[in-house]
Amino acid sequence: MKERIFLASPHMSKEGYEQKFVKEAFDTNWIAPLGENVNKFEEELASYVQIEHAAALSAGTAAIHMALKALDVKKGDIVFCSSLTFSATANPIIYQNATPVFIDSEKETWNMDPKALEKAFEKYPNPKAVVIVHLYGTPAKLDEIVEICQKHNVPLVEDAAESLGSIYKGKQTGTFGKYGIYSFNGNKIITTSGGGMLISNDEERIQKVRFWSTQAREKARHYQHEEIGYNYRMSNIVAGIGRGQLKVLNDRIAKKEEIYHNYKEAFKDISEIEMQPIPNETKPNHWLSVITLKEGSKVSPLNIMEVLEKENIESRPVWKPMHLQPVFAKYDFIKVCQNDKSVAEDLFNRGVCLPSDTKMTKEQQERVIEIIKELF
């Protein structure tokens, strides 16, 4: 069988930065959910995205959960949330016993539609928070969304799990809201195998999150607990991997960009194929290169995925929107388009995530391209 081509897999630095930091953890015997690597990873990531404070946690999902807890989201509260995303964006709303209201996407960025967000505020004037996603590394319409949130005096949480290193008007995604979150899952642009980061300029809240995420242990000689805590702190080993990965983040972004533009150039003469758009004044990290097939195309997303699968090449559908998931079916969904199909559903039906692995060679990408071209 031909060598596997992955969608997006872990890619350690050839310089061995990760091993150096992990070895330091072993040498100093700091094999625990605290230590020098954890502290430094928080500082170094905060410095990279130019924010004041960060808390290293066990997952991006944990970071969203802690952001909502820090905003005092609780039972009876409504939280507006992007529908076109992975379930990890929405699950923490349920952890807090709150009620998600899902918001449709718009076609220019595939992210939360500001018009649909305004419509949601008309129906539900007092949500506790707005959670937006920067899908596949492409920034949402942040100016409009931030303005709407400020007008209604509702805090914004940015799920930047997929968009670490993406730029909107000269500023890093994740730094526009009250809180931003990043993920270091195995498939992300940099990985620690599992892990996440919560960022904010609010020092008191970040300190509180660190407290909650280490089981809310009070400062006492004995084990004293006055609040419910969580076992969410990142380990010193994992943080060491993260510190090493951070050193090659810009290289990974450059490679992802190259992959995207190779696909774009290769498919430019196939009228049925469109790449995920790059909005003006943004620099996406192109975490995944995603295509959509025009309505009426003789080739379907499934055709592409099946033919790649036969060649031992990994690809995926676009995220299935949250409002179409059985577990979230009872919650409201807000859209502005008049036809039955929402923008989010339309993108799900027509989209394919193509191999975007930073270890993929030029020859491997050309192989992917030729297989797809043959279908047309």
Q: How far apart are CA 83 and CA 90, in angstroms?
A: 9
The span from the CA of 263 to the CA of 275, in Å, is 8
pLDDT tens digits, residue range 201-260? 999 999 999 999 999 999 999 999 999 999 999 999 999 999 999 999 999 999 999 999
Residue 12 lies in a domain: no
Same domain, 265 and 277: yes
Give the domain CATH number at 323. 3.90.1150.10
Structural domain boundaries, residue 57? 17-246
pLDDT at 1: 79
Joined tokens for residue 272 = 């049925």
CA 203 vs CA 37, 59, 222, 334, 371: distances in Å:
20, 20, 27, 34, 51
Token code pair at residue 6: 């992955």
Of 246, 253, 340, 353, residue with least CA distance to 293: 353
Identify the residue with better confidence: 97 or 339.
97
CB 212 within 8 A of CB 63: no
pLDDT (0 to 100) of residue 315: 98
pLDDT value for 270: 97
Do strands 273-275 and 171-172 pair parallel, antiparallel, or not at all (unpaired)? unpaired
15's CB contacts (< 8 A; 6+ apart) are 247, 248
33: closest CA among 3, 10, 6, 62?
A: 62
Q: How many CB atoms lie within 10 A of CB 361?
A: 11
Q: Which two tokens stand for residue 331?
A: 């919650």
Phi, psi of 42 (to 5 degrees): -60, -50
Residue 4 inside a domain? The answer is: no
pLDDT above 90 as % of the chain: 97
**What SS3 class is residue 115?**
helix
Query: Does 3 fall in a domain?
Result: no
Shared domain check, 109 and 52: yes
- 153-180 mean pLDDT: 98
Per residue in 11-42, pLDDT tens? Answer: 999 999 999 999 999 999 988 888 999 999 99
Provide the pLDDT for residue 116: 98
Average pLDDT over residues 111-125: 98
For residue 337, pLDDT over 90 is answered with no
Q: What's the total number of domains in the chain?
A: 2
pLDDT tens per residue, range 284-327: 999 999 999 999 999 999 999 999 999 999 999 999 999 999 99
Is residue 9 over pLDDT 90? yes
Same domain, yes or no, for 206 and 289?
Answer: no
**Prediction pTM value:** 0.97
The CATH number given to whatever domain includes residue 60 is 3.40.640.10
The verdict on 239 and 254 lying in the same domain is no
Look at residue 154 and tell me whether its pLDDT is greater than 90. Answer: yes
